[in-house]
Amino acid sequence: MLQIPCIHCGLRDESEFTCGGTSHMVRPGLEQSDATWGEYLFFRDNPKGLHLERWRHTHGCGRWFNVARHTVTHEIFSVYAMTDPPPALAPP
Amino acid sequence: MAVHGHDAVKYSAWSLLRGALSGQRNWPAAWRDASPKPNYDVIIVGGGGHGLAAAYYLAKNHGVTKVALLERGWIGGGNTGRNTTIVRSNYLYPESARLYDFSLQLYEGLSQALNFNIMLSQRGLVLLAHSRHDLDAMSRWANAMRMNGIAAELLTRAQVGELAPALDLSPQARLPVLGGFTQRRAGTARHDAVAWGYARAASALGVDIIQNCEVVDFIKQDGRVVGVNTNRGHIRAERVGIAAAGHSSVLAKLAGFRLPVTSYALQAMVSEPIKPVLDTVILSPGTGAYVSQSDKGEIVMGAMLDLFPSYAQRGSFAVKQAIIAATLELFPSFSRLNLMRQWAGIVDVVHDSSPIIGPTPVPNLYINCGWGTGGFKAIPVGGWTLAHVLATGCSHPLAEPFGLERFITGRLIDEAAASGIAH
C-alpha cells in the first residue's frame, strides 16, 4: 500500500486516490496534424524511473495535484500543485 | 553434459522407457545455452513466450536459423512465468477473433508440433452475467463470436451451476449469477512448458538462446538498426525484433521512438492446493475476477490492475484485498484457504487493449508488444506474426490491422470496451 501525501490533506493511504497519468502534457491546437494529435492522445514516455504524474484525492478532498514518483521503488520525491512547473529533480 | 541442439532427444513413450533403464539420470539438457556470436541474420530481444515462439517460427516457417534470442534474465522468467495460464479466443471484433483464434488453434497442436507436452487443458471458460445488462451484453458477445466462426454457448443459471457447482448461485448473493456464456475450447496450459517447448524446438533448429544478456543500446548506421550493444558485447544483425512486454518502452527509448504503451503491475495469486473443486475457468467481468484450479490443486486468482504506472514486479496490498474479495463473492467456500504465493508481472497496456505487431519508425527494427493483461494466450500467434515480419519485412495478414499507425489514423480495435476486459 502506497502512502501518498495529498498537498491539501496530508499523508493518506493509496486506496483514497486515483492516478490520472502523465502530467504536464500540452494539448495541441485543433489545426495540428493527425500525427501530433496521435502523439498527444496515445504515445507516452512510460519511463522506468522518475515519472511526473497527476493524482486525485478521490475519496478525500477530491482535488487534483502532481506527484513525482519512481516507477520501480514507488518512492515519492515531491508533491506539488497542478499549476506549478515541474520540479527540478535529477533523473534517478 | 555438452548438448548440441541438433541431436536433441525425441521425447516419446519409448524414450521414457529407455530412460527408465538408466534410472532417468541421463537425459541431455532440453536446449542449448548459447554464447553470443558477432553476427546473425536476426536478433530477437526478449526470451519470454513471444520471443521464443518468434525464434522458433523464424527457423521453422521461414528457414531463418542464424537467429540470436537475447534474454536479460532467464527464459520464461518475466510475464511468461507470472500469469494465470488461461488460453481463450472470446473476442468481439473480427480482427481480434481471427488473431486470437489462430493462436488457440496453434496451441491445440503445439504439444505435437514441439514434441513437448504443454499440458493444454481445454476445460472451458465460463463468463458470468450478474445483471440483465450483462445478459444482453453477453448475448451480443457470444453471437459476435459465432459470426466470426468461433463456438460460444449462452448459459442459464442452472447450466452455469452444472459447470461450476462451487459458485454461489443463491439469489441472495451480492453478485447474483443470472447466466453467462461459455467457450468450451478455452482452458489453461502449462506456462513453463510453453517457454521450454519453444526454446527446445528453436534450439534444435539452430537458434542461439542467450541468457543473462541485456541490451543496453541499439547500433545504428544511417538511421537503420544494424545490431545491439549488450552487457556481453556487440552483436550485429540484419534485422532486430523486440518482444519485451512491459519493458517495450525502455527499449523503444534506446532506439529513439515512443510507444502508445503504459506499464502497470498485474497481480495474481494461488491458494494452498486442495482437492478438485473447479474444473473450468470462471471469469466475472463485473468484478474483474478470474478463477481456476491448477493441476496441482491450487486455486489461481487474478483480477484488476494496480492502476498506476509501475515497473516493480510486486503489487499493492489494497489491490490484493480487492482481488480476494471479488473471488470470495463468487466462491464463499474458499474463504478459509491459505494464500500460498502471489506475484505481479509488468504488463504493457495500450489504449485499445489490442497488440502492436509490425515495423517501428526505425528501419530494420520490428516489435511485438501491447498484449497488456492477456499475452499468454497469444504466444503462438505473437511469435508467428513477429517471425513473419522479421523474415519478409511485410506484416502478416493477421497482424496488418495491429500496426503502430492505427494510433495516428484513429483506426483502433477497441477490445477494451468491446470484450469487457477487466482493467
Give exposure, A14-30, as e/b (b: 16+ Cβ within 10 Å): bbbbebbebbeeeeeee
By C-alpha distance, the chain A residue nearest B347 is A46
- Give yes or no for A15 touching B (CB within 8 A): yes
Residues A34/A35/A41/A42 CA torsion (nearest 10 deg) = 130
pLDDT for position B9: 86
**In this structure, what are the phi and psi dihedrals at residue B334, rounded to the nearest 5 degrees?**
-85, 0
B312-340 pLDDT, tens per residue?
A: 999 999 999 999 999 999 999 999 999 99
- Sign of the torsion formed by the C-alpha atoms of A56, A60, A63 and A67: negative
Alpha-carbon gap: B319 to the closest alpha carbon of chain A (Å): 9
DSSP B203: H
Separate counts of helices (H) and strands (E) for chain B: 12, 18
As a whole number of angstroms, the distance between CA B399 and CA B358 comes to 7
Neighbours of A76 (CB within 10 A): 15
- Give yes or no for B263 touching A (CB within 8 A): yes
Contacts of B143 by beta carbon, 8 Å cutoff, 6+ apart: B152
pLDDT mean over A2-12: 97
pLDDT for position A89: 80
Q: Which residues of B touch A70 (CB under 8 A)?
A: none
Q: Which residues of A touch B318 (CB under 8 A)?
A: 1, 13-15
A24-75 pLDDT, tens per residue?
A: 999 999 999 999 999 999 999 999 999 999 999 999 999 999 999 999 999 9
* H helix intervals, B39-184: 49-62, 94-108, 110-114, 132-147, 157-163
Cβ proximity of B358 and B377 under 8 Å = no
Q: Which residue has the cell 461450476?
A: B164
Q: Which residue has the cell 484488476?
A: B304
pLDDT for position B198: 98
Tell me if A71 and B258 make a contact (CB, 8 A cut-off).
no
pLDDT for position B422: 53
- Tell me how far CA of residue B364 lies from CA of B51, B242, B361, in angstroms: 17, 11, 9
Tell me if B310 and A74 make a contact (CB, 8 A cut-off).
yes
Q: Which residues of A touch B256 (CB under 8 A)?
A: none
As a whole number of angstroms, the distance between CA B141 and CA B92 comes to 6
pLDDT for position B1: 35
B253-265 pLDDT, tens per residue?
A: 999 999 999 999 9
- Tell me how far CA of residue A9 lies from CA of A2, A4, A53, B119, B318, in angstroms: 15, 10, 18, 53, 20
- Tell me how far CA of residue A56 lies from CA of A20, A23, A66, A71, A76, in angstroms: 7, 12, 9, 18, 15
As a whole number of angstroms, the distance between CA B113 and CA B61 comes to 12
DSSP B259: B
As a whole number of angstroms, the distance between CA B119 and CA B85 comes to 11
Task: Return the ∠ at Cα B391 (arms to B387 and B397), rounded to 5°.
Answer: 65
**In this structure, what are the phi and psi dihedrals at residue B241, rounded to the nearest 5 degrees?**
-115, 140
pTM (2 decimals)?
A: 0.96
Q: Which residues of A touch B247 (CB under 8 A)?
A: 48
Residue A92 has pLDDT above 70, yes or no: no
CB pairs A-B closer than 8 Å: 70
- Give yes or no for B247 touching A (CB within 8 A): yes
User: Residue B331 is placed in which grid cell?
Assistant: 466462491
Q: Is A86 helix (H, G, I), strand (E, B) or coil?
A: coil
As a whole number of angstroms, the distance between CA B248 and CA B46 comes to 10
Alpha-carbon gap: B210 to the closest alpha carbon of chain A (Å): 24
Q: Which of A15, A44, A46 sits opposite B318 (nearest CB)?
A: A15
* H helix intervals, chain A: 34-42
Interface ipTM = 0.96
Cβ proximity of B350 and B357 under 8 Å = no
Alpha-carbon gap: A33 to the closest alpha carbon of chain B (Å): 9
Query: In chain B, which stretches have pLDDT less than 70?
Result: 1-7, 417-423
Cβ proximity of B110 and B171 under 8 Å = no
Neighbours of B44 (CB within 10 A): 34
The angle that helices B379-392 and B191-204 make with each other, rounded to 10 degrees, is 30
